[in-house]
Amino acid sequence: MRIVVGQGSCGIAAGAAKVYSAIEAQLSSSAELTITGCIGMCFLEPIVDIYDGDALLKRLVKVQPSDAERIIDYVNGNENAVSDIEITDDDKDFLLKQTRIALRHCGVINPEKIEEYVADDGYKALEKVLKTMTPEEVIEEIKVSGLAGRGGAGFPTWFKWNAARQSQGDYKYLICNADEGDPGAFMDRAVIESDPHNLIEGMLIGAYAIGAKEAVVYVRAEYPLAIERLTNAIKEAEEKGYLGENILGSSFSCKMRIKAGAGAFVCGEETALIESLQGERGMPRLKPPFPAQSGYWYKPSNINNVETFANVSWIILNGGAAFAAMGTENSKGTKVFALTGKIKKGGLVEIPMGKTLRDVIFGIGGGIKNDAQFKAVQMGGPSGGCIPAELLDTVIDYKALGATGAIMGSGGMVVMDDSTCMVGMAQFFLDFTAKESCGKCVHCRIGTKRMLEILSRIVKGEGKEGDIELLEELCYSIKDGALCGLGQTAPNPVLTTIKYFRNEYEAHINEKKCPAKSCTDLLSYRIVEDKCRGCTLCSKKCPVNAIIGSVKNPHIIDTEKCIRCGACYNSCKFEAIVME
Amino acid sequence: MSCCNCNKSDLSLIKDVLDKYASVDGSLITILQHAQDIYGYLPTDVLYHIAEKIGSTPAKVMGVATFYSQFRLQPVGKYLIMLCQGTACHVNGSERIEKAIKEELGISDGETTVDGLFTLKNVACLGCCSLSPVMMINDETYGRLTPDKAKEILRNLKAKED
């Protein structure tokens, strides 16, 4: 038997490494202990799978180091030893309702062993390409598949490959954008940590198609485990002859290296990324010329996102038509989403395009935490927007999502309930983009700052009439005046929240109230006389002695002194304190 | 890290890195990353030295060092608290955790405690969204935080040092 501990970053953060050590300490010779990457069920981590050959016997969830002994008991024949930590049928649905292509090996194979990747049809697509297809045929197959850039822009992949192929130049580069910067998105990290060879294979096929001799992966510095596993995978691939000179006996040669980013959101923009690769400040270049003509070191270059490459080997093996058979008219194949926020079952979800937001949030994600009211879902991070509850049946498709004012983006899906303030949300994203603006364009550099100031005033209760209109005006001028995607999309979180939640802005500005009861400065606390038993707990908890009253008599909050910290509200056992 | 008591950095520590990368085009970020690993931060005299060795100007090196959030120009405490400010953590209350840290240690984003033990740094998404709110102290990740839990973790670390 084989005991497999899921060790992606999330799993490790939840304690998977400690579970692994605990099992290792008790391991008998009858079982083998190994690791796998992220299966995407973050809400159940740490996860331990027990296999007999290829058959999955048990999937154990929320495993603690103290469970090690009974896991060994089970392996030794005690069938019931682990029944109470086994995954439920309801939770099994989380995976059963998905269609996995980019994530097909994630949480299944050991990412540190090339043999396991090869045994699961790994590098067969590369072999097929090198032995039976011309670069033009590869590009045609990708064209048939309808694969579009999964990093956010959704630009047809074949078109970029073809442009780089056609471009004149003695030396070309293929670059993978793994600078996954959207807060709330972690699918690229999961692919690199869990299935690094699939990325390498996809990149090699791309390099062959465009005629590149060198490939570079630009990885976010915050992803040390991804860098470690990819470094190991590149070394393995070189040793086995999948990378380097005359790959698999063909005339195609390609080398690959990793460049660790240094933390700048704007480097997700392809020309800023190129500047950063060259050791400069990551500031975008004017386009044209496009990277296909003049990119890294001013040579023809092609840049795709991790998830885009992760689909390529599957497309080559199964045919572009099979990929295109999934999805909608203008969005083909599957897309991976990182489902987080106020959701019951958070994790990675890969589904065919054309499903609805409801299918993902309620069908797979199990609905809202604590059965609260669903309010909105934020898609596309700082470049995207908030889609309200009434649009829950919007289909997942580039056009349909774009029509809401949000974007498909890289796949972050942050779910919010009625306790999230939408003005606060807009402020949060503007704070992010204002900090991350590279400073090159005046509209982006100063415009985002001015918007942030206005939003910060509004959430403090200092909003003025005309603020909403001023915000809108600034939004449109930043969109028009910015050079790159960061600035052009930075106003989206503000525009979508104004569009769908204008009443919340108005409540903040006109009534000085936060409907979600989230903005501290707009809250007030009051003790309901009838309910107060005079237990004095709240007055003891109050850090500023703002609560007065004697034992067994109703207490009163001195609103002048109150700093609205909520300590009294959280301590009261009789629900005698109301927040307004 | 000083060579003696003169507050100058020991520049010999970075010699190997510069021998390897100084003449390779586009290596400035890589050199700075190594320098930070060696010194714990980027001391000004080291930046001047790098500029000289790669044939660039201090302004250019400083420009790159201040552009990226990974680089620090000040030493950090023994425990570097990286508090996640990703969307999921924000929605699940990272602001309250920041307040709790401030109450416990008296430091805000970017500051270090007087005893040199703790530095607080707000960071973009750490990618452990399902455990939000999250903070990372050195290599350890702490998830599903509440203000009280965060304070307790810090108190335990402090107790260890006493």
Least confident span in A19-33, A104-118, A206-220: A19-33
The answer to whether A278 contacts B26, with C-beta atoms less than 8 Å apart, is: yes
Whether the CB-CB separation of A517 and A419 falls below 8 Å is answered with: yes
- At residue B142, does pLDDT exceed 70? yes
For domain A523-579, the CATH architecture is 2-Layer Sandwich (3.30)
Structure tokens at A352: 């065919």
Residue A570, judged by CB atoms within 10 A of its CB (0-12, 13-18, 19+), counts as exposed
Mean per-residue pLDDT, B10-19 = 96
Tens digits of residue pLDDT in A292-319? 999 999 999 999 999 999 999 999 999 9
Place domain A2-96 in its CATH homologous superfamily.
Answer: Glutaredoxin (3.40.30.10)
For domain A422-511, the CATH architecture is Up-down Bundle (1.20)
Which chain A residue is nearest to residue B27, measuring alpha carbons?
A279
The answer to whether B28 contacts A183, with C-beta atoms less than 8 Å apart, is: no
Q: What is the pLDDT of residue B153?
A: 96
- At residue B6, does pLDDT exceed 90? no
Q: CA B112, CA B98: separation in Å to the nearest integer?
A: 14
- Residue A175, chain B, CB below 8 Å: the answer is no
- At residue B51, does pLDDT exceed 90? yes
Out of A279, A282, A412, the one facing B27 most closely (by C-beta) is A279
The answer to whether B88 contacts A186, with C-beta atoms less than 8 Å apart, is: no
The answer to whether A42 contacts B69, with C-beta atoms less than 8 Å apart, is: no
The answer to whether B88 contacts A414, with C-beta atoms less than 8 Å apart, is: yes
Tens digits of residue pLDDT in A226-279? 999 999 999 999 999 999 999 999 999 999 999 999 999 999 999 999 999 999
For domain B11-67, the CATH architecture is Orthogonal Bundle (1.10)
The answer to whether B87 contacts A378, with C-beta atoms less than 8 Å apart, is: yes
The answer to whether B69 contacts A264, with C-beta atoms less than 8 Å apart, is: yes
Three-state DSSP state, A244:
strand
ipTM: 0.90
Contacts of A88 (CB under 8 A, 6+ apart): none
- Residue A346, chain B, CB below 8 Å: the answer is yes
Mean per-residue pLDDT, A394-408 = 95
Residues of A (375-394) whose Cβ lies below 8 Å from B = 378, 381
Which of A256, A103, A260, A263 has the alpha carbon at shortest distance from A190? A103
Are B11-67 and B79-161 equal in CATH topology? no
Tens digits of residue pLDDT in A484-540? 999 999 999 999 999 999 999 999 999 999 999 999 899 999 999 999 999 999 999
Tens digits of residue pLDDT in A410-447? 999 999 999 999 999 999 999 999 999 999 999 999 99
Whether the CB-CB separation of B105 and B120 falls below 8 Å is answered with: yes
- At residue B2, does pLDDT exceed 80? no
Partnered with residue A327 across adjacent β-strands are A332
Grade residue B5 by pLDDT with cuts at 50, 70 and 90.
Answer: low
Tens digits of residue pLDDT in A40-64? 999 999 999 999 999 999 999 999 9
Tell me the shortest Cα–Cα distance from B60 to chain A, in angstroms.
Answer: 9
Structure tokens at A540: 């003891």
- Residue A348, chain B, CB below 8 Å: the answer is no
Q: What is the pLDDT of residue A228?
A: 96
Contacts of A53 (CB under 8 A, 6+ apart): none
Tell me the shortest Cα–Cα distance from A142 to chain B, in angstroms.
Answer: 30
- Range A473-485 burial, b when 16+ CB lie within 10 A, else e: ebbeebbeebbbb
Q: What is the mean pLDDT of chain A?
A: 95
Whether the CB-CB separation of A199 and A230 falls below 8 Å is answered with: yes
For domain A334-417, the CATH architecture is Roll (3.10)
- At residue A149, does pLDDT exceed 60? yes
**B105-113 long-range Cβ contacts below 8 angstroms, 24+ apart:** B105/B154, B109/B83, B112/B74, B112/B75, B112/B76, B112/B77, B113/B77
The torsion angle over the Cα atoms of residues A124, A126, A130 and A134, rounded to 10 degrees, is 110
The residue of A216, A222, A375, A521 whose CB has the most chain B CBs within 10 angstroms, and thus the best one to mutate to test that interface, is A222
Structure tokens at B158: 């402090």
Sequential DSSP letters for B93-123: THHHHHHHHHHHH---TT-B-TTS-EEEEEE
Out of B28, B91, B126, the one facing A342 most closely (by C-beta) is B91
Domain boundaries, chain A: 2-96, 114-324, 334-417, 422-511, 523-579
* Chain B residues with CB-CB distance to A185 below 8 A: 125
Q: What angle do CA A532, A538, A539 make, to 5 degrees?
A: 110
Instruction: Tell me the pTM.
Output: 0.94
Contacts of B138 (CB under 8 A, 6+ apart): B79, B80
Q: What is the pLDDT of residue A333?
A: 98
Instruction: Tell me the fold of A114-324.
Output: Rossmann fold (3.40.50)
- Residue A428, chain B, CB below 8 Å: the answer is yes
Tell me the shortest Cα–Cα distance from B143 to chain A, in angstroms.
Answer: 7
- At residue B4, does pLDDT exceed 70? no
Tell me the shortest Cα–Cα distance from A127 to chain B, in angstroms.
Answer: 34
Tell me the shortest Cα–Cα distance from B117 to chain A, in angstroms.
Answer: 22
- At residue B88, does pLDDT exceed 90? no
A240, amino acid identity: K
The answer to whether B88 contacts A183, with C-beta atoms less than 8 Å apart, is: yes
- At residue A122, does pLDDT exceed 60? yes
Out of B32, B64, B125, the one facing A184 most closely (by C-beta) is B125
Pairing mode of beta strands A48-52, A2-6: antiparallel
Instruction: Give the number of other CB atoms < 10 A from CB of residue A300.
Output: 26
Structure tokens at A544: 């500023």
Q: What is the pLDDT of residue A9?
A: 87
Least confident span in A144-148, A484-488, B127-131: B127-131
Tell me the shortest Cα–Cα distance from B26 to chain A, in angstroms.
Answer: 4
Mean per-residue pLDDT, A361-388 = 96
Q: What is the pLDDT of residue B7?
A: 75
Q: Which DSSP letter does residue A152 get?
A: T
Domain boundaries, chain B: 11-67, 79-161
CA A435 to chain centre: 20
Task: Tell me yes or no: is domain B79-161 CATH 3.40.30.10.
Answer: yes
- Residue B23, chain A, CB below 8 Å: the answer is no
The torsion angle over the Cα atoms of residues A359, A364, A365 and A370, rounded to 10 degrees, is 90
Structure tokens at B101: 């840290």
Which chain B residue is nearest to residue A15, measuring alpha carbons?
B141
* Chain A residues with CB-CB distance to B29 below 8 A: 262, 276, 279
Q: CA A218, CA A277: separation in Å to the nearest integer?
A: 8
- At residue A199, does pLDDT exceed 70? yes
Q: What is the pLDDT of residue B128?
A: 81
Q: What is the pLDDT of residue A545?
A: 92
- Percent of chain A residues past pLDDT 90, beyond the cut: 92
The answer to whether A278 contacts B70, with C-beta atoms less than 8 Å apart, is: no
- Residue B133, chain A, CB below 8 Å: the answer is no
